[in-house]
Structure 1
């Protein structure tokens, strides 16, 4: 177990190599909270941040999920550690499933495991959306589909494959399956091939023609909203969608309504990142998925004034009355390597359902938005080392 910090309260932030934990370290570190970044990797770009006060080593959750959990509990048991922030799907799952082990030592703002299961299982999530009377694509288990005449999308049934949800995984095993396949009308996918690739039977959703994609983020306290935020996703990881790499903060009362109705149906507690598609014909907001943790685009959320890491900290300390949920509209931010990934998708990806933009059009749109909104997720001039470390690490992998 690592030594305790004697200078004040600490926050534990588990992290992978990807820098999505950086806003948590920056937000809380600059407010005097001692930040402990813990990872199974040795060379993590956020370790170089001036807002990272301490680092800790963890076993790999891919090798042994229970050993990873036990190491997190050991860090949480330190007298100075007050809470743990879920950044990755592993952490969201473990903090809910083994909440009693953690809350012997720290305060957590996470849903119970039964509520989490309704969100992690996309069939159950679709049923919850229908119960809340909010739009959701028709969603069915693969083995329940007989008619393949329409446009369909195949995706993992679960946010995380783990023993709570599937019989194929032991308690020490978990994995994320992020494959999304667009299926042409009349094409019947090979079940055995899908099982081999995805390690479970996926779900089948109707394809919803969308004009825009949106994110609704929230922190809830036992079914009641404490803070909410919205952005419009301009570009994702791919031209077919995915996590946002350029977005602008916005507000639409209808999006607020459908998201709150869904979270109310779930009696939600803790963080929620809900992705939506705006139907190209009806303008309705169709649910895509919920991530019960901090999100990839968190840096742009914080830059717009919605400081969810700080909100989470305040709620964990019983100081919800200090949270100011206001944010600025029209603020955009870029994930630079994500923008490069978007360009790469234009060059190499192919979808029978989504029209591919031209390379010239793509380059113009990215250039125009960088000039108009010169804000970046991880390139911060008052703390450049995480970005530089990430670039060096990426280049070294190419050698």
Structure 2
């Protein structure tokens, strides 16, 4: 990063997304007096309604033109006040790593190099890395290589994000992603072409892990060395079959930290990492589900539990990593209220041959009890009510857009149609 030319109030660039991580970043850094610049291709975002959103800059939609989005980010990065850019989506992580040399004359970016990024974006390579690191990972295969279809299996995309770097059939400005995870019926032999058609990108078949609990490990690394490590237990996801967190409680389990850091050490990781784990109900092992090289959906709860990763990221980017205090509070719970509603609705919307559907009355009781005992929330804040109100205003438009098949090449369908609260572009 160019030194000696900075003046005025320092600024951070935060892309907008449809989950709470952008708002969590704005609140954390805004309270430190850092100017926040939200970049977005959307007309509506919960982030725009936050009092900690100082400025909004419109960008190209990265899922329609990745290179145009890169160029828009480069324009913002070239401003004298901007110090760094926070990756909150897979596409942000890719653009910042792939074109880091273009950004680094202007901003500091604690992000992995492309070799490391590909090893976590490609789930086949990630499984190989986990095996090499000696940590548990489900058996992961290409559909053509599966011989025994009688087992409990999952099918999902091979790539977190597919781009021309990983598949030369795509143009440089194209990218593809699929959120679909299929719970396959045991004994149903799946034709590879049929799986590809449904997933729209190359799929993988993975052993289903029967888990008695789900966990997340969040980490910030500096060239292979951990700066901060955090853990939570995911009590409920947005689907009962498994998904991003709706209610979580902070934990500290040495065995869980060990398998996560062993893998990140092996990868010589740099920057942010969100690792998802399943605890095998038969062996008690913590089995890796995936790694996301960015801020995570449940970031608000992480901050509420005392692990302020947006602040840590800023400290690392501004050469103050020695000031990071990685301690956090254990036993703290936090809810995403819309996620809790989606979890309850999933009882009536989704089926799985591998996961038993919980009772609706029991689920509603558990949500009510945990909300009473742990009244902490991702969006809901008396200090900053705008994002919660905007989240409520999008809810009715969003619910019909959560079908079994979640594949959005462009922005989510509701982003063009829902009302937005007034905000100022400053």
Measure the CA separation in 2 of the matches of 1:167 and 1:368: 51
Task: Kindly indicate whether residue 88 of structure 2 is the aligned counterpart of residue 111 of structure 1.
Answer: no
TM-score under structure 2 length normalisation: 0.91
Measure the CA separation in 1 of the matches of 2:239 and 2:395: 19
- Could you tell me which runs of 5 or more consecutive residues in structure 1 were left unpaired when the two chains were aligned: none
Measure the CA separation in 1 of the matches of 2:200 and 2:351: 24
3-state DSSP of counterpart to 2:238: strand
Measure the CA separation in 2 of the matches of 1:242 and 1:18: 13
Contact in 1 for aligned 2:7/2:80 (Cα 8 Å): no
Measure the CA separation in 1 of the matches of 2:393 and 2:204: 39
Residue 46 (structure 2) aligns with: 45
Q: Aligned pair count?
A: 396
Deviation at 1:199, TM superposition (A): 2.3
Residue 217 (structure 2) aligns with: 216
3-state DSSP of counterpart to 2:87: coil
Measure the CA separation in 2 of the matches of 1:45 and 1:228: 28
3-state DSSP of counterpart to 2:244: strand
TM-score under structure 1 length normalisation: 0.97
Deviation at 1:5, TM superposition (A): 10
3-state DSSP of counterpart to 1:350: coil
Contact in 2 for aligned 1:8/1:34 (Cα 8 Å): yes
Deviation string 1:207-265 (CA, Å, 9 cap, x unpaired) is: 11100000000000000000000000000111111111100000000001100100011
Residue 63 (structure 1) aligns with: 64
Seen in structure 2, the aligned counterparts of structure 1 residues 391 and 5 have a Cα distance that, compared at 3 Å, is farther
Residue 318 (structure 1) aligns with: 319
Q: Which moved more, 1:145-154 or 1:298-307?
A: 145-154
Deviation at 1:146, TM superposition (A): 2.3
Aligned pairs for 1:1-399 (under 5 A) are: 7-395=8-396
Q: Which moved more, 1:159-168 or 1:305-314?
A: 159-168
Deviation at 1:150, TM superposition (A): 1.1
Deviation at 1:52, TM superposition (A): 0.8
- Could you tell me which runs of 5 or more consecutive residues in structure 2 were left unpaired when the two chains were aligned: 398-416, 420-426
TM-align CA RMSD: 1.5
Measure the CA separation in 1 of the matches of 2:241 and 2:324: 36
Deviation at 1:176, TM superposition (A): 1.6
Q: Which moved more, 1:19-28 or 1:221-230?
A: 19-28
Measure the CA separation in 2 of the matches of 1:288 and 1:379: 29
Contact in 2 for aligned 1:81/1:106 (Cα 8 Å): yes
Deviation string 1:284-303 (CA, Å, 9 cap, x unpaired) is: 00000000000000000000
